[in-house]
Structure 1
Amino acid sequence: MPAWLVFVVIGTVSGVAAGLFGVGGGLIVVPALIYWAGFPQHMATGTSLAVLLPPIGLAAALEYYRNGNVDVTAAIVIAITMFLGAWLGARIASHVSGAHLRLLFGIFVCCLGIYLVYGAYERLR
């Protein structure tokens, strides 16, 4: 499969996931770039961050806003602090090997998954 088609599939899947669940960059794009496109960990992370620049999420955010589902104050505060946090995280990541970074990412995703499944299970009981 040509690289551009792999990127189209990654973009489409992550776009749908972003619109449905508010996820896409770290949970979909990074692993997809590593396993489907053969990117090294650092390249996948950097590319995912470049993808997440404002125009990408704008359409979904506007639709949620139109339906009264965006807290603008929270979004601004989180965006500013996320900007600073992303800079700090990138500085740290540049000093960590790709294998260690991938391991930490996997642990993070597993812990998040367990937390979400447990919370959903508790609400269903």
Structure 2
Amino acid sequence: MEHHWPARIAGAAAGLANGLFGGGGGMVFLPILSRWGRLDQRKLYATCVGVIFPVCLVSAAVYLFRGELSLLTALPYLLGGLAGGWIGGKLYGKISIRWLKWLFAAFLFYAGVKYLL
């Protein structure tokens, strides 16, 4: 059981980031899984999504119970996100790993700049 502590600590860090920022846990998980997960790139991205999903559910539940989540405001984004997630999952195997890395980096850069402005 001792060898699972780095993964548990990494999970706690990602959950903390997700809870504090309303997202972003995947940005913590991706480099951690890349280093410790010993997965090929395609499984790495898919595993990151699989791990972050329950973390997001927990954060959303806390926000909901605290009365800080507007379900009516979130609904159109959720519907679009579900459609986008399905399309992205279908396209996933058709896009090269190199392009996935560049797209991910570009998204992070764009989001960071928009956040600062």
What whole-Å deviation, never above 9, does each CA across 1:19-62 have from its counterpart, x for those lacking one?
A: 10012343221222123434333212211221233x43343323
Secondary structure, counterpart of 2:23 in structure 1 = coil
TM-score by length of 1: 0.76
Percent identity, aligned pairs only, is: 27
Q: Distance in 2 between matches of 1:116 and 1:13?
A: 21
SS of 1:52's equivalent in the other structure is: helix
RMSD of the alignment, in Å? 2.2
Tell me by how many angstroms 1:77 deviates.
Answer: 3.2
Shift of 1:91: 1.7
CA distance in 2, matches of 1:81, 1:63: 23
Q: In 2, are the aligned partners of 1:26 and 1:48 still within 8 Å (CA)? A: yes
**TM-score, normalising length from structure 2?**
0.80
Would you say the 8 A contact 2:18–2:55 is kept in 1? Answer: no
CA distance in 2, matches of 1:23, 1:36: 22
Q: Looking at both structures, which has the greater relative contact order when contacts are Cα pairs under 8 Å and sequence separation is at least 6?
A: 1
Change (3 A) 1:74 1:42: farther
Matches within 5 A, 1:2-81: 2=3, 4-53=4-53, 55-81=54-80
Q: CA contact under 8 A between 1:40 and 1:98: conserved in structure 2?
A: no
Q: What 5-or-longer segments of structure 2 have no aligned partner? A: none
SS in 1 for 2:94: coil
* Cα distance between partner residues in 2 of 1:48 and 1:77: 25
Number of positions where the alignment pairs a residue of Structure 1 with one of Structure 2: 116
Number of the residue aligned with 1:123: none
* Alpha-carbon distance in 2 for matches of 1:25, 1:48: 9
